[in-house]
Each structure stands twice: as structure tokens, then as C-alpha cells.
Amino acid sequence: MAGIGALRLVVDAKMDGVVMRRTANRGPHRTTAAGVSYKPAEDDHLTRFSMRVIRGSGRGRRARVLCLGDAESKGDAVEDSEAALQATIDKSKKVLQMQRDLLQQIAERRKLVSSIQNTSVAVTNPEEEQVSLEGKKSDRSTDTAGVKYSSDDIRPPTSYAPPPKAETLQTTTSATGKVFDKPASSKTPTSDVGFAKQDKIENSKHVQSENLPTFFSTSVGTSASEPDSSEKINFLNNRVSSKDIHTEPNLPVLQGDDKKPPLAGLNVMNVILVAAECAPWSKTGGLGDVAGALPKALARRGHRVMVVVPRYGNYVEAQDIGIRKRYKVDGQDMEVTYYHAFIDGVDFVFMDSPVFQHMESNIYGGKREDILKRMVLFCKAAVEVPWYVPCGGVCYGDGNLVFIANDWHTSLLPVYLKAYYRDNGLMTYTRSVLVIHNIAHQGRGPVDDFSKVDLPGHYIDLFRMYDPVGGEHFNIFAAGLKTADRVITVSHGYAWELKTSEGGWGLHGVINENHWKLSGIVNGIDTQDWHPSRDVHLKTDGYTNYSIETLKIGKPQCKAALQKELGLPVRGDVPLIGFIGRLDHQKGVDILAEAIPWMMGQDVQLVMLGTGRDDLEEMLKNFEHHHREKVRSWVGFSVKVAHRITAGADILLMPSRFEPCGLNQLYAMVYGTVPVVHAVGGLRDTVQPFDPYSESGVGWTFNRAEAGQLIHALGNCLLTYREYKTSWEGIQRRGMSQDLSWDQAAQKYEEILVAAKYQW
Ligand SMILES: Nc1ncnc2c1ncn2[C@@H]1O[C@H](COP(=O)(O)OP(=O)(O)O[C@H]2O[C@H](CO)[C@@H](O)[C@H](O)[C@H]2O)[C@@H](O)[C@H]1O
């Protein structure tokens, strides 16, 4: 009986730890390349397997296929059948053991839940709550895992934490003034969230115990260095124990008085920020700055925070942690390894692969297909980092976990999280937040590109877009925006602009459909790197550190050092104007170019730093060539020169056509450098125009991205510089006194992360 109906396959496959058994018409399932089963659109009886993912050691591949009913091999078959039967029995025993372990785990979690419920009664006592929320000393506090700790030994929790009771949630909300920003369309009333979610946690664990710890199955291979699956199972069980929470050596560093509870209070979470670049290791622009600084601010609030970024070069701080994984990308087997560094309370995880190496100066370069491959690999691997990459000995796991993806490059992460995990009842409580830094870049391509991202067929609808410019196309950003639980953009102004046809760049429809999950949070700045009093680039070559107290001495010294370094006449009285930015359409360097003839008629000096479009680089060089006594053009990417211009210039020009947030104007203000900006996006949000009547404001703005408007604003600025010294100094001092650090912004991020956590 070799017919299909009689065919029984026993596949003992140690392929990615997947055991496949054919079962009679139990419903079609297929596997994604990541090894997770899903239901194909069409029934294919030849490949109709129910796939049960047992474990993920996957060190080798061996498959024996026994076709019962094949007369010629009957004798062998019987032998093989016995062996297979024995193997099956052995495996079943292991499975049973694992199920027992999981049931034990569920029992422990139930205990935790009841302890939380007891604790929440205590927390809702208004007096006690007040004390704890204000960070004042209380005898005992409770972390989100419901673990009691004394005020002498307060550390943020690092692992699974069931949500508090609904009453606790509400109390916390009102006491902190935070709003759990629930969408109007949300089906679960806020007051039910805690309980509803708790039930689902329990249910989900039962589901997992039936399906077994399938999260190990998704990679296509592992290295010899990887612990075997049984170790991993134990490891996972351990990760929920309160013992680990307290012995974990790699907790976020609480700054200042470390006896205070985490600022995040009960909202402490595990946060994994995933970005294509991260300063200081890799940076092409503002995304790198944000990825380097926001996580540290979240860690200061008590969250356990990881950054995952490609390893483009050899970074001295990062150590190889011996984890190797293999992933299929467009049919190609690719290996990644991981490097780790723990800095300022943050786990930086660098993903190494030949496709990333030596790309630091060309991160988004190469053919479209190659960029796509890099991002597919990066996102596929990044979503599994919480399972495979131990930081300080302990993986993050999925408890209280939220991913923060950034721009189109990592927009596949929310999609993979959904397709490979959440659709399969896994990582059910893990959330993803997508941050829009710049919607002008979307990861567009022909619809055929869908075949390269390795997703179930019906996912194509998330990617397929049409607009008059691109026609029908494949759009990665669109899929990320639709799939992420929350979307953040980097200013309020830009959040508004994204909804317009001019500002949405073809995605305004998607943004409007998902408007309930969009929030604007203005970026902060890393005041360790960017502050005139500690800037490392001001310590040599005649520059000096300065502060608001020493502004009048320090800034002129930096100006003189800059003039000297650039070979410009060293003059204190001439206004020195700076421009720093990518040379492209967005930054409006061509608008600045139109204003050059007028500017050259003024007694000014101009220094421009930028790299980008060849024609614009050429234009900059020409300006210097034609106005050597007044203009310097630095074509290239130099962090040191950027810092020195920010300190030495009097005025910073930003004629950007659009600017989601803009960091340079923030840096400028902290350095007492006065911004003149097009009032758009984040520039409008952050540069309050100078009002001579009330002596308020921190710079000048103009309303249309036109040379005439720029000239008008710059003219007023120059007049004030020359004629109204006291007003000028007031503008500088107001700019310098603002708190532009990440701390406030991080608190707002936290609110969104928590809202995502309780969103169903
Ligand atoms: N030639 C050069 N040499 C050295 N340094 C250079 C440089 N050119 C630019 N830089 C630096 O790169 C950063 C650029 O910051 P922007 O805010 O202008 O970001 P960008 O437009 O890249 O990113 C997007 O993301 C950020 C972050 O969210 C948003 O602020 C922004 O509006 C959005 O367009 C600054 O740190 C700047 O000093």
C-alpha cells in the first residue's frame, strides 16, 4: 500500500528541533522558514503534516523516512519501525517531563498572581501609595513581578511580571497623572484589562504546555556552543524565579541615590530597542543619536533595556558571547553571532554577520535586494534575541517585553513578531512599538519583493500599497505601521504632518487609519555627549568647555578656535553662521544656496558641514571656492567637527523642508548657539521665536521653505546680534537653561510602552 492515503511518515528530524508527524487530515499546516507552523491557503495533501515543535537544539540534520506498506522494504521497515517506536517513546517521556515542568511553572505563576493581588490591596491604600509613588522611603515595596523587597535592596525586576489588578492600574494611573491611552475602538474596557490579561496568561501557558516551548524552533540552526535544549528549558524555568531577579548582576544602573525605587515604579519593563544604527558605534544621522541615548534614559528609570544593532566594525567594548544562529534569508543560509557590552545600564547587543561587516560608512548602501536581505536577517534574528542572547547570564525572555523598532529598516520586526509568534499563540504579551524618524524612506520595492521576506501568503496585504508616484508597490514601512501595537513619532508637529498628503509621503492613509495608536514625543539629547561643559571635542586645539556661567568667556574662545581651525579670519565681532546636515532635499541646503548672494553681502562668516548628494557636495565646495574669505565647506562626516561648529558658531541655520524632530537645533541651544529654522515638524515644536517685546523665545523661525523667508529671519537675527547685545545674551541663556535631556522624553516613551502592554 504505497498509496498516499496509506502513507504514514515518521520523520525523526532533528532539523531545527522540529518533529514532524503526518496525521490523517488534521488540517493543513506548513512551516515558515523560521520553523513555525501556519495554515497554508491551499490544501496540499502531500505535505500535510501537523508539526509539533519539540525543541530547538538543531545541531545537525538527520531524517529517516519510513514508508510503511512498501513491500520491498518490509523487513527493514519493521526494524526501523521498532527503533522509531522506541525513539518516539523516549521523546514522549521527555515531552511529559517538560510538560510537568511547565505545569510547575504555571503553579508558581499562580502563586505570584495571588501575591500580586494581595499586594495590590496594600498599594491601593492611599497613604502608602503616595509614599511609594513619590519615591520616599517605605519599609517594603513591590516590584512588578509581585516580589517584595525592602527599601535597602531595591532593584528593578527583570523578568516575567503578571499585570497588577485592575484597581491597582487605575490607582497608579490617577496618582501619576498618566493616562492609559486606550483606543476608542479597543474591545477590552480598561478596568478589565488586568484580569482579562491575567486569564490569558494562564491560558496561554496551557497552550504552550500542549505545544511545548516552541519558541526554540524558529531559528534554522544553532552552533555547537549553544546549550542543549534541556538546559534551555531549565533556563527558562529559572528565569521566572524571584531568586534570579535578585541575583542578576546586569541590572540597570540607578543613578544617584540607588536606594530609591525605580522611577518607573510598577511599570518596569524589559525593553529591546532595535535599530540599524547606534551612536557612537554607527551613525549616519539622528537615528544613531536616538538609539544611543534613549535606552540609557529608559534604563535610568529602572527598565531593563537592550539595544540590538548590527556590528559593522570591530568595537572594542563588545565581547563575543559565543552564540551562533542560522537563518534562512531568501533561500540562503546565513549565520549571525552576537557581541555584547554593558554600558551605562544598557545591554548593547551587536549582531555580527558577513553582510554587515565593513558597512559602517555605507549602512543603507548597495542594491535594493542586498539592503532588503540585511534587514530581513536583522529583524528575523532580532525578534529572537530575548531567547538566545543572555545578558549578564540571563536572557530577557518574553515577560513584560516590548520591542522598539525604528524606521522602515526594522519595520519587519513587528511583522515577524506577529507572523511567527503571536499568530501561533507565542510571545502573546510581547508588544512592539514602531518609531517614525523619517517617513520619506519606506523600504519600497516591486510587489515581487514579498517573496524575499519569508511570510505567509496572506501577509502580502500588509505590504501592498498603491500611490500615484510609486504605482502598486511593496512597502515595508506600511506593514510595520499596520502591525505595531503603538506608533511614536519624534515630535507633535510631525505627528500632525504625517496625516497630511504632503507630510505622509503616500502613507498618510495608513497613518490616518491607525491614528489612535500614533503619538508624538519630541526627542531629547544625550547631555553626556552634547553639553558644552563636558564635551570631549572641546578639550584641545584651543577650544574650551564652558557653561551658562562661563558663556561669555568660553564661547568666544571656541569661536576663535573654530575660525583658526578653519583658516577664517579670527574676529570676535563677526557673526559666525553654521549649517550641519545631510546634503539632500529634506535639509533645504539648496534654499540656503539661494540665499548665499545676500549673505555674502553681509559681514558674516559661514561654515557648512555635510555629506550626501554629489551635486550638493559640489555646490558647497564651489561656495568656498568663490568666497574663501567668508565661507568654509567641510564635505564629509565628522562628529568632532559637528561638535566644534555647534560650540563655535553664533547662529545655526536649519532651512529643512521637513524635519520630523531635528537634533542640531537642540544641540545648538544647549551650546548657546541661536537657531534660525523653518517652522516645520519638530523645529516648530522646539524653537520658540524671539519676541523683542516680551524678551522671550530662543531663536528665529520662518514659515515657508523659501530663500526670501530665510533671508528675512536671518536678517532680524543678525540685527539683534549686532545691535541688541542684551537681548542676544537673553536668547542664548534661555536656550541653555532648557532641560532638553532625554529624561522627560523617556518618561513619555514609558507611558506608551505601558499603554501598549495593557492594550489587547
Ligand atoms: N556631516 C556630518 N558630520 C557629522 N555629523 C553629522 C553630519 N551630518 C549630520 N550629522 C549629525 O547627525 C545628526 C543628524 O540629526 P538630525 O536630527 O538632523 O537627523 P536626521 O535627519 O539624520 O534624522 C531623522 O531622525 C532624527 C531622530 O529622530 C530626527 O531628529 C530628524 O528630524 C529626522 O530627519 C546630528 O547629530 C548631526 O550632528
pLDDT tens, position by position, 493-502: 999 999 999 9
pLDDT tens for each residue of 627-646: 999 999 999 999 999 999 99
Which pLDDT does position 95 carry in this prediction?
Answer: 58
> Taking a C-beta distance cutoff of 8 angstroms, is the pair 751, 181 a contact?
yes
Say whether pLDDT at 18 is over 60: no
Distance CA 197, CA 180 (A): 15
pLDDT tens for each residue of 109-130: 555 445 444 433 333 333 333 3
pLDDT tens for each residue of 725-734: 999 999 999 9
Q: Determine which residue's CA is closest to atom 27 belonging to ligand 1.
A: 286
Q: Does residue 637 have its Cβ closer than 6 Å to ligand 1?
A: yes
Which pLDDT does position 108 carry in this prediction?
Answer: 54
Confidence of residue 261 (pLDDT cuts 50, 70, 90): confident
Lowest pLDDT segment from 49-58, 498-507, 694-703: 49-58
Of all residues in the chain, what percent carry a pLDDT higher than 70? 67
In this structure, what are the phi and psi dihedrals at residue 565, rounded to the nearest 5 degrees?
A: -60, -35
**CA 741 to ligand 1 centroid distance, Å:** 17
Closest ligand 1 atom, residue 523 Cα: 28
Confidence of residue 105 (pLDDT cuts 50, 70, 90): low
Start-to-end Cα distance in the chain = 50
Confidence of residue 103 (pLDDT cuts 50, 70, 90): low
Q: Does residue 490 have its Cβ closer than 6 Å to ligand 1?
A: yes
- Closest-CA residue to 633 (of 588, 679, 567): 567
Distance CA 56, CA 236 (A): 13
Q: Does residue 639 have its Cβ closer than 6 Å to ligand 1?
A: yes
Spell out a b/e string for 437-446, using b for 16 or more CB atoms within 10 Å of the CB, else e.
Answer: bbbbebbbbe
Which pLDDT does position 432 carry in this prediction?
Answer: 98
Which pLDDT does position 97 carry in this prediction?
Answer: 65
Distance CA 243, CA 239 (A): 9
Looking at residue 420, the DSSP 8-state letter turns out to be I
Is the pLDDT higher at 24 or at 77?
77
pLDDT tens for each residue of 736-756: 999 999 999 999 999 999 999
Q: Does residue 631 have its Cβ closer than 6 Å to ligand 1?
A: no
Looking at residue 418, the DSSP 8-state letter turns out to be I
> Taking a C-beta distance cutoff of 8 angstroms, is the pair 688, 697 a contact?
yes
**Per-residue three-class SS string for 311-328:** CCCCCCCCEEEEEEEEEE
Residues, the chain, total? 760
The two beta strands, 18-22 and 10-15, are antiparallel
CB count within 10 Å of CB 362 equals 10
Contacts of 758 (CB under 8 A, 6+ apart): 163, 169, 180, 182, 190, 193, 194, 197
**CA 463 to ligand 1 centroid distance, Å:** 28
Q: Determine which residue's CA is closest to atom 5 belonging to ligand 1.
A: 639
Distance CA 287, CA 58 (A): 36
CA distances from 686 to 100, 238, 735 (A): 57, 47, 10
Confidence of residue 80 (pLDDT cuts 50, 70, 90): low
Average pLDDT of 19-33? Answer: 33
Q: Does residue 662 have its Cβ closer than 6 Å to ligand 1?
A: yes
- What's the one-letter identity of residue 27? G
Looking at residue 534, the DSSP 8-state letter turns out to be T
pLDDT tens for each residue of 508-535: 999 999 999 999 999 999 999 999 999 9
Average pLDDT of 464-480? Answer: 93
Say whether pLDDT at 6 is over 80: no
For the record, the C-alpha cell of 632 comes out as: 568654509
Which pLDDT does position 266 carry in this prediction?
Answer: 82
Domains of the chain and any CATH numbers? 270-520 (3.40.50.2000), 550-739 (3.40.50.2000)
**Per-residue three-class SS string for 644-711:** HHHHHCCEEEECCCCCCCCCHHHHHHHCCCEEEEECCHHHHHHCCECECCCCECCEEEECCCCHHHHH
Average pLDDT of 559-588? Answer: 97
pLDDT tens for each residue of 672-723: 999 999 999 999 999 999 999 999 999 999 999 999 999 999 999 999 999 9
Say whether pLDDT at 44 is over 80: no
Which pLDDT does position 233 carry in this prediction?
Answer: 26
Q: Does residue 289 have its Cβ closer than 6 Å to ligand 1?
A: yes
Confidence of residue 147 (pLDDT cuts 50, 70, 90): very low
Which pLDDT does position 264 carry in this prediction?
Answer: 82
Average pLDDT of 68-95? Answer: 58
Lowest pLDDT segment from 222-231, 268-277, 379-388, 429-438: 222-231
Which pLDDT does position 358 carry in this prediction?
Answer: 86
For the record, the C-alpha cell of 365 comes out as: 548602501
**CA 8 to ligand 1 centroid distance, Å:** 60
Q: Does residue 441 have its Cβ closer than 6 Å to ligand 1?
A: no
Report the mean per-residue pLDDT for the chain.
76
Of all residues in the chain, what percent carry a pLDDT higher than 90? 63
Q: Is 33 left (phi over 0), alpha (psi -120 to 50) or beta?
A: alpha
Closest ligand 1 atom, residue 611 Cα: 1
Q: Does residue 138 have its Cβ closer than 6 Å to ligand 1?
A: no
For the record, the C-alpha cell of 158 comes out as: 527583570
Q: Does residue 578 have its Cβ closer than 6 Å to ligand 1?
A: no
Give all strands of the β-sheet with 605-612 in edge-to-edge order: 631-635, 605-612, 576-583, 651-654, 674-678, 700-702
CA distances from 244 to 145, 202, 231, 593 (A): 12, 22, 16, 60
Say whether pLDDT at 210 is over 90: no
pLDDT tens for each residue of 129-141: 332 222 322 322 3
Among 282, 289, 526, which is best to mutate for testing ligand 1, by the most ligand atoms less than 8 A from CB?
A: 289
- Closest-CA residue to 507 (of 586, 576, 607, 411): 411
